[in-house]
Structure 1
Amino acid sequence: MPDPILDALRSFIRIEAAGGILLMASAVAALLVANSPFADAYFGAKASYIGPLTLSYWINDGLMALFFLLVGLEIKREFLEGQLSTASSRILPALAAGGGVAVPAIVYTMVAGGEPGLSRGWAIPAATDIAFALGILALLGSRAPISLKVLLTAIAVIDDLVAVAIIAIFYTEDLALLPLGLGVAGVLVLVVMNRFNVRNLWLYAAVGLAVWVAVLLSGVHATLAGVAVALTIPLKNPVRTAEAAKLDADAEMEGPETYEEKRPSPLHRLEHGLHPWIAFGVIPLFGFFNAGVALGGMSPASLASPLPLGIALGLVIGKQIGIFGAIFAAVKGGLAPLPENAGWMHIYGLSLLCGIGFTMSLFIGGLAFPDPATLDLVRVGVLGGSVVAALGGYLVLRFSKAKPAPEAI
């Protein structure tokens, strides 16, 4: 792997891992506050209005659009120049991600799909929370081979791509054609800007904000505007002059970090600038205001009802069967090699960790079941399943036989 790409991967994983640990803390804090004397203030704050929208709406449809913007940037970069840039590198994570989406959906449908109104939740256990999962791997240190972190990141990127498609196709209702047309027109303007090598990110931001407003009014979930805008951000720099080429050569000799600082593309600049704010701000804030559920009014029967049970089993059982089974079949079938320095217990531990669905699962759950009482059961299923998957994956990897590994990321 070229040094600049490896360096970018190291930075990505470190930020995601640290953000994942903060996300865990925010989820625990939400549960504690929601079941404390401060519960009324907590739930009141979520429902309070800031301008025309509630605080929850601003977070889930506004700030999370920035999260999806970052997701789109990561997807574009990984497919064009990262670990998913060649056909051979996509085989294993694509098959694993496919199994990790399909089998949890089947498990959920078998458990809860037959209940009236619950079939809409089939996609809730389909996605992996990369920040949370990398946070667990960070706690394991050298016991987690580099190749495992790379594979997890690749699976999660494809997972996010599938989740975005699911949201667009299955959770979009009551389209307003005029705002949708304006949103599409805005995206086309961004595409033209890209073609004419416009590099000013503030221009992309201005048009992107207009796209977000149009999509918000159209009935399509506004966060998808973030992905659409991300895909138009230029990744490559324009043809360089001789002077710029010399700067490139000098910077590259000084090291990949210096090179990126001196000659970053607009996409690299935006991703680098957004990533810490999303990892340490937006996602923990989303987690804090979406993980809180008052458990006092819930009976044991409701906690084990089909909805939370189907979600939890989809995350814990469906993910490990789907991902481990797909990787096992691909390796044994000669389609792809086993990741370097990783054994089958490492792969099994990875498959368990992919059952941490937290952020995207809560997000899809809110789209599928906006009713507050039903959404509380979604939260119970997501939190319960994610905790079991996290503990299971950690223990499997903690006691897996160590293998020699190169420099840790």
Structure 2
Amino acid sequence: MSSSRRTRTTFQRFIESEASGGVLLMGSTALALAVANTFLGGAYEEALHARVAGLDLRDWINDGLMTFFFLLVGLEIKREMVEGQLDTWPRRVLPLVAAFGGMFVPAVIFMAVNFPHPENWRGWAVPTATDIAFALGVLALVGSRVPGSLKVFLTSLAIIDDLGAILIIAIFYASNLSIAALAVAAVFAAALYWLNQRGETRLLPYILLGVLLWTAMLFSGIHATLAGVVLAMMIPIDNAGDGRHSLLHSMERALSPWVAFLVLPIFAFANAGVAIKWNLSLLSPLGLGIVGGLFLGKQIGILSAVYLAKKARIALLPAGASWRQIYGVAALCGIGFTMSLFIGLLAFTDPETEAVLKLSVLAGSLLSVLVGALVLLTVTPAKSTPAT
């Protein structure tokens, strides 16, 4: 085999690997931290605040480029609800209950720590989110040490978690609402619904209306990225035959590599960079609330919810999984990163608070990676016993 053939094969395997998206996110984060803490830090911040067509470059990334991430998340949610792992209520119960516990307990921990500090209350949702790319990437690196049922469980849980985060952003982080802009957005959303109902399968009409919807939502007070979710819900999915040639499936396949290998790494590089100063303490109420919520709250909430669901006999546990493996997956759900940073940047605008936010999300996510991976790596398939 020639060198070029070997290189191409290795590259293809990397692109197709579930771990590669997480690896690139980690690399982008490390690069952002390195740049922010060198002589390039000033130029880094200056570039991100450069004005382009009326918005900062970072705003174009967070409000514009991330719309494609939310579009992909919306497509995944719809597909799973229609024909995937969430297509029936018995399949939805366990990840739904686990996701609720994994969002409720971190929020309680955050508010318990920050209750005497009302200025921090807007950050209550920061530790409630799970980064599906990072979590699945770490799980993929663990390999065959965990049963496939746990991967399905984690994916379903993370998708429901994403849906919860989307609802939180829409309800709790809207500001300065414009009724006129919302009315215009509603007209475009109705037009998208009409296209769906009449069975339109061409992509162009959906894209044009989606761009108009995004523009209206940019001025509405509701975060513009949610236009991607609305558009996703209107994309048709055909259940006839194998259903794999519907517009939704085509869009999801086309978007996945762009989001994993371009959108999310750019977002990470633009938002994870923070100059680490000794006066920025993770022991502040904000830092403790975020780290404690992500690292402790996620695993406690998910594991407790799964245990109660089993005791109440309303859900079955993942087949072939031990309680230790379930705990490891629960710990991995404390990897907040993308969505946690996204919510945090909506909650806080002060530079010093943003710095504490970023360091806290990184610290909580890193602890979750280390503990989750360690737990899963110490369990071999031969020694795994079904959870009882």
Separation (CA, whole Å) in 1 of partners of 2:278 and 2:159 = 35
Please report how far the alpha carbon of residue 144 of structure 1 lies from its aligned counterpart in structure 2 after TM superposition. 2.1
The whole-number CA distance in structure 2 between the counterparts of 1:298 and 1:72 is 40
User: What is the aligned residue count?
Assistant: 371
- In 2, distance between residues paired with 1:116 and 1:90? 36
Structure 1 alignment gaps of length 5 or more: 1-10, 240-247, 253-258
Q: CA deviation at 1:332?
A: 2.6
For 1:30, what is the secondary structure of its paired residue?
A: helix
Match runs of 1:50-199 below 5 Å: 50-199=52-201
Superposition deviation, residue 14 in structure 1: 5.5
Counterpart in the other structure of 2:372: 393
Partner of 1:380: 359
Q: Answer whether contact 1:341 1:403 (CA < 8 A) is retained.
A: no
Match of 2:254 in 1: 273
Distance in 2 (CA, whole Å) between partners of 1:119 and 1:342 is 37
* Counterparts of residues 10-25 of structure 1 (less than 5 Å): 16-25=18-27
Aligned partner of 1:298 in structure 2 is: 278
Separation of aligned partners in 2, 1:16 and 1:73: 18
**Alignment root-mean-square deviation, CA:** 1.8
Structure 2 residue aligned with 1:313, among 286, 292, 295? 292
Q: Rate the CA distance shift 1:95–1:45 in 2: closer, same or farther, 3 A.
A: same
Please state how far the C-alpha of 1:156 moved relative to its aligned partner: 0.4
Alpha-carbon distance, 1:291 to partner: 0.6
Distance 2:146 2:166 in 1: 29
Alignment of 1:320-331 (within 5 A): 320-331=299-310
Give the match's secondary structure for 2:381. coil
**Cα drift, residue 139 of structure 1:** 1.2
Q: Deviations over 1:266-325 (max 9, x none)?
A: 111111111110011100110111111100x3326x331111111000000000100011
- Displacement after TM superposition at 1:132 (Å): 0.4
Superposition deviation, residue 15 in structure 1: 5.7
TM-score by length of 1: 0.88
Runs (5+) with no aligned partner, structure 2: 1-12
Matched-pair contact (CA < 8 Å) for 2:188–2:209: yes
Distance 1:202 1:290, change over 3 A: same
Q: How many angstroms does 1:18 deviate by? A: 1.8
1:284 aligns with 2:286: no
**Distance in 2 of aligned mates of 1:283 and 1:369:** 21
The answer to whether the 8 Å contact 1:316/1:385 transfers is yes
Identity %: 51
Q: Deviations over 1:97-131 (max 9, x none)?
A: 00000000000011123213101110000010010
Rounded Cα–Cα distance in structure 2 between residues aligned with 1:329 and 1:403? 27
How far apart in 2 are the matches of 1:61 and 1:16? 26
Counterpart position of 1:333: 312
- Cα distance in 1 for partners of 2:257, 2:115 equals 38
